[in-house]
Amino acid sequence: MPRLTGLTRFFWEGAARRSLLILRCQECGYYTHPPRPVCRSCLSMELAPEEVSGRGAIYMYTVAVTAFHPFWKDKVPYTIAVVELAEQPGLGVTTNIVDCPEKLLRVGLPVEATFVETAPGLTLPMFRPAIRATGPRAASEVVDRSEDSARPAATAGR
Shortest gap between Cβ of 6 and Zn ion (angstroms)? Answer: 20
Q: Which of residues 6-25 bind Zn ion (CB under 5 A)?
A: 25
Q: Which of residues 47-76 bind Zn ion (CB under 5 A)?
A: none
Distances (CA, A) of 31 to 71, 74, 105: 32, 35, 26
Shortest gap between Cβ of 44 and Zn ion (angstroms)? Answer: 4
The set of residues, in sequence order, having a beta carbon less than 8 Å from that of 143 and lying 6+ positions away, is none
Label residue 63 left, alpha or beta by phi (over 0 means left) and psi (-120 to 50 means alpha): beta
Shortest gap between Cβ of 34 and Zn ion (angstroms)? Answer: 16
- The type of residue at 67 is A
Shortest gap between Cβ of 89 and Zn ion (angstroms)? Answer: 16
28 interacts with Zn ion by CB under 5 A: yes
Stretch that binds Zn ion, among 33-41, 64-72, 87-95, 109-117 (CB under 5 A): 33-41
The set of residues, in sequence order, having a beta carbon less than 8 Å from that of 140 and lying 6+ positions away, is none
Applying CB under 5 A, which residues contact Zn ion? 25, 27-28, 30, 39, 41-42, 44
